[in-house]
């Protein structure tokens, strides 16, 4: 894979998320919290009729669970990509030995 492409793709994604932090003043709350507020504004009488089954007791616990979700996913991805890469490497090695 072309190194320049990787740099461009990663760099683009990182810039897109860091620039707003630097350039935009905002509280960076979630868009669905804003949607909840908008629902309240459009239909002031609406009462949410169910509560979430489990709500993380604090922002810390919530960030733990989000980090866990990312770590699980990233771990599985890394493992699988690593396997494919190793297989690719061994194939290439055995090919070059034969020729």
Partner 1 sequence: MIKRSPAKRYGSLGAIALLTAYLVVASPNPALAMHISEGFLPLSWAVGWWLVFLPFLAWGLWALRQQIKQQPESTLLIALAGAYAFVLSSLKIPSVTGSCSHPMGIALGAVLFRPPLMAVLGTLVLLFQALLLAHGGLTTLGANGFSMAVVGPWLAWLTYWGVSRATAKPAIAMFGAALVSNLATYAVTSLQLALAFPDSLGGVATAFAKFAALFAVTQIPLAISEGLLTVLVWNWLTTYCTAELQTLKLLSGAESNE
Binding residues (CB under 8 A) for partner 1: these are 1-3, 5-6, 9-10, 12-14, 16-18, 20-21, 24-36, 38-39, 42-43, 46, 48-56, 59-60, 62-67, 69-74, 76-78, 80-85, 87-89, 93
- Cα–Cα distance, 76 to 70 (Å, whole number): 10
- Provide the minimum distance between the beta carbon of 16 and partner 1 in the complex, in angstroms, as a whole number: 5
Instruction: Give the separation between CA 99 and CA 96, rounded to whole angstroms.
Output: 5
CB of 53 to partner 1, least distance (A): 6
Largest alpha-carbon pair distance within the chain? 77
How near is the Cβ of 45 to partner 1 at its closest, in Å? 11
Residue number with CB closer to partner 1 (5 or 99)? 5
Contact 62, 56 (CB under 8 A): yes
With a CB cutoff of 8 Å and minimum separation 6, the contacts of 28 are: 21
């Amino acid at each position: 894979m072309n190194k320049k492409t990787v740099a461009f793709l990663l760099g683009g994604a990182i810039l897109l998320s860091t620039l707003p932090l630097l350039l935009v003043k905002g509280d960076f709350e979630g868009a669905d919290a804003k949607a909840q507020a908008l629902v309240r504004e459009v239909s002031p009488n609406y009462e949410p009729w169910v509560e979430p089954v489990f709500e993380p007791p604090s922002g810390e616990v919530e960030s733990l669970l989000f980090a866990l979700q990312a770590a699980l996913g990233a771990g599985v991805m890394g493992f699988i990509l690593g396997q494919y890469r190793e297989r690719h490497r061994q194939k290439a090695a055995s090919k070059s030995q034969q020729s």
